[in-house]
Structure 1
Amino acid sequence: MAETQAKRAGAPEEGESAPRRHPTLDSLCSRLESILWGRAAEELLASASATSAGPRTVILLPAWDWRMPAMDIGRKGRDHESGQALLMPVRLDWGGNDALVRVAGADGPERPYQWTAHSMGWTDSGEVAHLHERPPNISQRAKNSSRVTSLNAIVSDGNYSAPGIHRYTVDGLQDIVRAGRQSQWQLLFSLEPFVTATVHKAHSAVSHEIGELTGRVQSVLHETGIEQVVNAMMLGDTAMESADGASVSRLLEQCLRPDRFAKVDPLMYLSRNLRRDAEDHIRRAIGDPRIGPKVRRLAAQMTGATVDEIVAAYRLEHPQDKLSTARAQAALNVGSDPMARSVLIDPETNRGAR
């Protein structure tokens, strides 16, 4: 049993090469981790507890452990070329995000650092103790699990890019803060091509869905309109964005939460939610209510029905939506942007978009 658990966690058998991390998720999670460290370091500096008692060691605890997933994630879990299984990120919670950066001995004799994991199908916990000693004396005990944890004795002296657990002097806290801020901007703008592609796919899907009612599939937004949606999702736009801020920034904040990835990895979380937000933005731009697709599907089944009859039937099926005649009329009358190109959407563009 222990051997099976260790294998699932990513420990290679004799003669096997160590599995590697999912490359895209490795980059994404490293930047998220840097942001978390930066914010926790900033909290320490603001509290003045880091420098109140002279030079001390600052410990950076990892936000992620890398293991074989304990749930089915399909083809994403394997390298496309070699077919080798890939390690996936398991989010660790050390007692809140602020606890990821600690001053050794600030609260008296050092106690073990305890973590829990509820991510990628894993549910377990453990502890790491006495990281400031030389040589490091690390003890770990995973509760309710016989697996071999992959946090085994990874300690780095001042190497900011190395994985695992890091040690710094208090003087390095400002560097950690700056690195976190830089990572946040790098991550934000590295997502722009992905957001652009997502908006185009969502636009194609919305155009096809609306075209099913009219019998003519054409773009519902022109190129400038699509670009405006991308900008609103990336940076926010008072005309199109709610007070919550830009979609990408809001979702990245969610990705920093330790409880966000119980059933999904960060990349899938971003993909699903960016697609949803892109469709919402597009429908808002053309005056289509969020429930527009449901109204149109029902109308298609009630050929020749009046708007009032459609509203009455809809309210019976979906009373919680509280559909008004005005919203029903907007859903039935929605069409393409007058400036949109009057050309048929290429079906290949929409492949895999739904």
Structure 2
Amino acid sequence: MPTTTAVPGGAPPPPSAQQLARGEGDAPAPGRSVRRYRPEDTRAGYAFVSPWLLGFVALTAFPMLASLYLAFTDYNLFRAPEFVGLDNFADLFTDPRFLQSCQVTAVYVFVGTPIKLAASLGAALLLNTKHRGQGVYRSIFYLPSLIGASVSIAIIWRAMFIDDGVVDQIQQLVGLPAGGWVGNPDMTMPMMILLAVWTFGAPTVIFLAGLKQVPTELYEAAEVDGAGPVRRFWSITVPMLSPVVFFNLLMETISAFQVFSSAFIISGGTGGPAGSTLFYTLYLYLRGFQDFRMGYASAMAWVLVIVVGIITAVLFRTSRSWVHYTGDVR
């Protein structure tokens, strides 16, 4: 039998390991109440989360499983799916338009995202100063993010960059060659990146919140030591903001892979000119709802999921070396 040792002062001895294993010795301390488990509490909790659970199953989990099944079939919406194994995935890498869509999307993600984050951080640094009317300025900077992803803004953006549009007229006034950006394959990507950068309000707000958390004592100490603005930025601001930079980088990268509406509107749903706006999601839409190759489109969707998952895992893995959290000991 297990033995117990008396505790001085008349207090009951602590339970032994054998007693804990049998569920004994867990009586509450004197004067302390313990809420007992009640099955009705669990039922109430499930009742409260049931709308979300139903929505998740019906609108997310089931469509994802159905898409995974269709990725291995030949399905055109008008007849029953026919299982074809890995043929859809094999066809992807022999499709030149698929490869072109990957190239266009990669340029947009890996060039546009850093530019957008740099613009967001710059705007946050400007808005972090104290001055009259700062709330109005911050609202103005954030306003494009409320409407930037809408179809109406994409239509206006296209109208600005076509031949004889506002941008073309400004180019002529300053002596630059005339010609719309929409019809020029070399200028459509800069135009799309510029549209993405214009909607930098959301990451700017997050950067601004991060800047508010940087202790002013660090800047004061660095200034006393003779550090200039550039030195203080790289030695204090950037390390202290690294968790915020990581969050914005992750979210904006994932969002950039999903760009669709602006590319669809600006290109007229064709991905032109010369495939310069053939983004991955736009080509997925064309294959699924124009060519009615839903199995092929489902395979594309799952390739995108895998690629985004790999990039996310790489970002999390590499963040250990450059993201610094308060209180970390390295």
TM over 0.5, yes or no? no
The structure with more strand, counted as a fraction of residues? 1
The structure with more helix, counted as a fraction of residues? 2
Bigger Rg, structure 1 or 2: 2
Q: Give the TM interval when normalised to the shorter protein.
A: under 0.3
After TM superposition, the score normalised by the length of structure 1 is 0.20
Structure with the greater relative contact order (CA < 8 A, sep ≥ 6): 1 or 2? 2
After TM superposition, the score normalised by the length of structure 2 is 0.22
